[in-house]
Copies of this chain bind each other. A is one copy, B any other.
């Protein structure tokens, strides 16, 4: 019987689970997975109960005894102290404060557990099994509803002295307000480049004379129409929104590059992986004539990046015992 590990991705609305075999290469290691809704569930113990039920089902469905499960790791959508295993703070969707998630998991499963911020786990996942595999130094940018960075230096996650490295949604940039948004409010960059922010910007600029597209669209649907294709010409308002997003993203990458001088940015999240955004951002960076152009690559793991990062963490936990 081979050893198994479990990975958990706790999202604002979904709980995603994966069961993996430790002796297989990362990309082929996941043997079973499941997704359940967490809508309306905020209590940490209830979430852990849901994780326990889900993993138990996966084990049973695959005829794997509980004793073969050697470790579990979970990504949480908030700042997480990886030394103590405590989720310090999450966004309003979960509303967690100082949740001892690692202990809750260990008490539930009676195996070693580890927890980390989901964005940082996504970076770790891309480093281990994705677009960052061949680069010991890179920055993973997650651009979905939120905007955050996961920093890999010398092949290791840089977590920061209070585990808050990469919380770039508050970055100060030209054309954004010159003082940061107060705590608890989305940062100005997040409000300007995140999916919800782009959607709101689209709606505020929308008029029947400016565009033939509907008023209610996701950022990625808008980007889809910013370039001409066989069926449609480019939509001018969609073009303008794409140009805005590319400028925000290029400025973000430019500032991080000045500080860290990493050779690669891996772009993830539903907004971040859009090819039109990546191409427009790369073109802008080239036009700015920086001495060294970082490469921009889309995430190869997509929404699985966090799960792979959690698997990596669980594997380390299992092999340390």
Seen from chain A, the residues whose Cβ lies within 8 Å of a Cβ on chain B are: 137, 149, 151, 153, 158-168, 170-180, 182-183, 247, 251, 254-256, 258-263, 288-292
Checking B165, B167, B177, B247 against A178 with a beta-carbon cut-off of 8 angstroms, the contacting residue is B247
Which among B168, B174, B262 is the interface contact of A173 at CB below 8 angstroms? B174
Residues in B with CB closer than 8 Å to A259 are 149, 151, 165-166, 168, 255-256, 259-260
Task: Give Cα A263 to B165, complex, Å.
Answer: 11
Q: CA A245 – CA B79 in complex, angstroms?
A: 32
Most buried by B among A161, A251, A254, A258: A258
Residues from chain B with a CB closer than 8 A to the CB of A292 are: 161-162, 164
- Decide: A261 and B162 in contact? CB cutoff 8 A: yes
| Cβ-defined contact, A180 with B254, below 8 A | yes
A142: shortest Cβ distance to chain B, in Å? 14
Instruction: Collect the chain B residues with CB atoms within 8 Å of residue A159's CB.
Output: 261
A85 to B181, CA, bound (A): 44
Identical copies of this chain, number:
2
Task: Please give, as numbers and ranges, the residues of chain B lying within 8 Å of A263 by CB-CB distance.
Answer: 161-162
* 20 A-B interface contacts by CB (under 8 A): A151-B260, A160-B260, A160-B262, A161-B262, A161-B263, A162-B292, A164-B291, A166-B259, A167-B261, A170-B254, A170-B258, A172-B173, A172-B255, A173-B174, A174-B175, A180-B290, A183-B289, A183-B290, A183-B291, A259-B260
**Chain B min CB distance to A201 (Å):** 17
The smallest beta-carbon distance between A169 and chain B, in angstroms, is 8
Partner of A174, one of B158, B160, B178, B183: B178
CB-based nearest B residue for A79: B291
In the assembled complex, the Cα of A262 lies from the Cα of B158 at a distance in Å of: 10
Q: Are the CB atoms of B258 and A167 closer together than 8 Å?
A: yes
Bound together, the chains give a CA A289 to CA B180 distance in angstroms of 9
Check A261 against B174 for contact (C-beta < 8 Å): no
Q: Bound state CA distance, A166 and B255, in angstroms? A: 10
Q: How far is the CB of A292 from chain B (nearest CB, A)?
A: 5
In Å, the complex CA distance between A4 and B5 comes to: 55
User: How far apart are the CA atoms of A257 and B168 in the complex, in Å?
Assistant: 9
